[in-house]
Amino acid sequence: MIVRHEQPADRPRIFELVAEAFAAPAGSGADGAAGGAGEPAEVGLLAQLFDGADYLPALSLVAERDGRVDGHVICTRGWIDGFRAVGLGPLAVSPDAQREGVGIALMEAVIAGAEAEGEPAILLLGSTEYYPRFGFVPASSLGIQAPDLAWGENFMALPLASFHSGIRGPFRYAAPFNNL
């Protein structure tokens, strides 16, 4: 597996795998309303993030195996009460490549990339069963408030080397997240 920076030529496959990864389970009745009939909302969000001013190309990565893109993660600029930070997501792995280390490889690479870029923290909304293995903790434990307090402990932060205790307050994602 190769983890590399996303290229514009990868985008058709990225949109395809995001649609596959976030598709509603058959028979669930979910229709991805925010993204259109049957299209998961994450596909439209991703298109807006790619086109937005807060897109961080250095932190948009793909995992490629045997010449096929099987995973993607994107990061955008976020803000913690005036301090810059990174908002991570969506992260998508093709359903036929899940549980094969693709997501772990993407997370390790994006964390290393954010650290190398001097970012103070990465924030995300995700599984409390999955992300703590990478060092993520409830953002509230660091004094960072979620955009929606109902997210509770699922809104997590990973403080990096340049993080300091003065970085606290409400977190704001890139503008396209407001359209969800």
Peptide bond into 90 cis (omega under 30): yes
Lowest mean pLDDT among 7-11, 31-35, 70-74, 152-156: 31-35
Q: Is the dihedral of CA 170, 162, 74, 154 positive or negative?
A: negative
Rounded mean pLDDT, 61-89: 97
Q: Bigger pLDDT: 57 or 179?
A: 57
What kind and span of H or E run contains 112? Answer: helix 102-116
The rounded mean pLDDT for the chain is 92
Indicate the CATH number of 2-179 among 3.50.50.60, 3.40.630.30, 3.10.180.10, 3.30.450.20.
Answer: 3.40.630.30
> Between β-strands 137-138 and 83-93, what pairing exists: parallel, antiparallel or unpaired?
unpaired
Domain boundaries, the chain: 2-179
Report d(CA 46, CA 62) in Å as an integer.
Answer: 14
* Contact between 69 and 166 (Cβ < 8 Å): no
Residue 14 phi, psi dihedral angles, 5° rounding? -60, -45
Rounded mean pLDDT, 83-110: 96
Token pair of 145 as six digits:
């408030």
pLDDT > 60? residue 33: no
pLDDT digits (tens, 9 = 90+) for 115-157: 999 999 999 999 999 999 999 999 999 999 999 999 999 999 9
pLDDT > 50? residue 27: no
pTM, two decimal places: 0.91
- pLDDT, position 180: 78
pLDDT > 70? residue 34: no
pLDDT > 60? residue 36: no
Write the DSSP string, 6-44.
--GGGHHHHHHHHHHHTPPPTTS----GGGSTT--HHHH
CA distances from 100 to 18, 47, 174 (A): 17, 26, 30
Q: Quick one: pLDDT band at residue 170, thresholds 50, 70, 90? A: very high
**Per-residue buried b or exposed e for 124-154, using 16+ beta carbons within 10 Å of the residue's own CB:** bbbeeeebeeeebbbbbebebbbbeeebeee
DSSP structure class, residue 67: T
- pLDDT, position 38: 75
Report d(CA 140, CA 167) in Å as an integer.
Answer: 12
- pLDDT, position 70: 96
